[in-house]
Every structure is written in C-alpha cells, then in structure tokens.
Amino acid sequence: MVDWRDAHLPELHWAPRGLPPGLKGMPGWMARVASESRFAAEVVKFEKRLPHGSAVRTQIDRQVLVVPGFGFGDVATMPMQIALKRAGFRVVRSQILANVRCSDRAVDRLADVARHAVESDHGQRLMVVGHSRGGMLARGLAARHPELVSTAVSLGAPLNDEFAFYEIPQPMVSVLKVVHQRDPELRERKCVTNECTCPYMRAVHQPFPEEVELISYYTTSDGIVDWRACVVPGAENIEVAGSHLGMGLRPETVDQVVARMIESAGRF
C-alpha cells in the first residue's frame, strides 16, 4: 500500500497549494498560522450571509448527525446545522460539549445517540458529517456501526493518519496525552498514540464498510492538518477553498457539502 505522504508531493514536509502570494515566502510555521488567520474573514462572511441564506428546502426527510471538531462542542457546528435544516434535513446533535474525549469512548457515546435516532426513525440509517476530529469520529462511527450510518462526511479530517497535524493543536494534544495516561485502561491501550489498540483504532484501520458512503473534503492551503492525509483511497475526495478552521462555516463550502448530502440522501 502506498503511504499517504508518498501519494502527493512526498519530498515536502508541508505541501500547500493555493496560498496567497504573500504567504509563499514565509517560514512554514508562520505561513500556516497566517493561512488560518483567514478564519476571521470567513466568520464575517458567514454572519453577513446568515440572515438570507441560499439553501432551498427539499422534500428529503433524513436525519443528519453533526459532530464538532477538536476541542469544540455542538455550538460550533451551528452554521452547518442551520444550512442542513434549511435544506430539509433533521439535525441530530452529537451532545458533545468539548471534543477531547478518548476517540473510542467518544464513538461509543455517538453510537448511543445514533442508535436512538435510528430507532426513532423506523430503522432508517442516518448520515453523519464532522469537521476535523469530528470527521474522524464520523468515519469511526460508520466503521464500527455500519448498521447505523449510510453516509459519513468529513471536513478537513486526516483520515489516513490521526496525527498528521502541525503546530497549532500540539499543546492541547500533549496535555490530553498526559491526562489520558493517568487512566489505567487508556494507558494500557496506548491512547493518543499511533500504537493505540482500542476498538476504534482497530476499526478505522480495517477496510471501510462497502455499504457506507465515505466523502472527504479537504483544502490544500490547510494550516492545521496535512491535506495529503485527507485524500483517502476508496473515498470520494473533494477539494474546497479556504482555511481549515473555516471549512464548517464558509458559505461556499457549506453549500457544496449540503448539496452533496442531498444527492446522497436520495441514493443511500
């Protein structure tokens, strides 16, 4: 199997594309921070768009579980929730206050939420969309429970390697590693490492269930995650513009994601 780093620009530690000219000559870490500073403008753009919106309500009546990114809770997914509701979907919240739990335990909790939603919808599998770490959990939920998920959508999630990220999240990840190592079970599993042996990690390293659709969105000017780790063999990989942090609220990206989910809802 070809390593994800070898598939795209293997000679580069950071392989950005589409950066503004002023960022290309900066040191890597500085360019990455500057690239993510676009998030502020993307927030403003979303707020200007909010009162109007362009999504058209459809006849599709499907449930969608929305999962926030690393360190965030359901409040952070409001832009995506609003767009999905306007399009006719029924949004299921993840009930996550801060996405920092052990991935295996987080997926167990998401499975409880998903199972309740599926049972209340006469057994109709739901769709799942997640940003960054939320996208990894969406894929993990689908991998472990294909009976609950029809389509898993990730935005800026390094599905090939959970640790393919740069400097910005490193301090928080280091703290979490120390905290998790205080739990005997998590320490034995080697939680927060590539050697973790939990059911979640075993599931995501197995072939993805054929009965579940996997869609991965990525931006090649990502300043937090190595975009090459988001291009997943066997998935539908879709490139979008913007920053990593802004993927879940940039109007053009959100519209594209919702339109693609409408298409999937009619087929799966």
Residue 151, domain member (yes or no): no
Residue 203, domain member (yes or no): no
pLDDT at residue 113 greater than cutoff 50: yes
Q: Chain-wide mean pLDDT for the chain? A: 86
Residue 181, domain member (yes or no): no
Residue 192, domain member (yes or no): no
Quickly state the pLDDT bin for 183 (edges 50, 70, 90). confident
Residues 149-178 have pLDDT tens digits of: 999 999 999 999 888 888 778 888 888 878
Q: Are 166 and 225 contacting, i.e. CB atoms less than 8 angstroms apart?
A: yes
Residues 20-75 have pLDDT tens digits of: 666 666 666 677 777 787 777 777 777 666 545 445 566 678 999 999 999 999 99
Residue 11, domain member (yes or no): no
Q: Are 85 and 148 contacting, i.e. CB atoms less than 8 angstroms apart?
A: no
Amino acid in the structure at residue 178? V
Q: Are 235 and 209 contacting, i.e. CB atoms less than 8 angstroms apart?
A: no
The two structure tokens encoding residue 152 = 């898993």
Residue 43, domain member (yes or no): yes
Q: What is the pLDDT of residue 174?
A: 83
Domain that holds residue 239: 31-132+223-265
The total number of structural domains in the chain stands at 1
Burial group, residue 19, by CB count within 10 angstroms (0-12, 13-18, 19+): middle
Q: What is the pLDDT of residue 59?
A: 67
The two structure tokens encoding residue 258 = 């919702």
The two structure tokens encoding residue 239 = 């490139």
Residue 230, domain member (yes or no): yes
pLDDT at residue 231 greater than cutoff 50: yes
Residue 68, domain member (yes or no): yes
pLDDT at residue 129 greater than cutoff 80: yes
How many other β-carbons are positioned within 10 Å of the β-carbon of residue 262?
18
Element of type H or E holding 200: helix 199-204
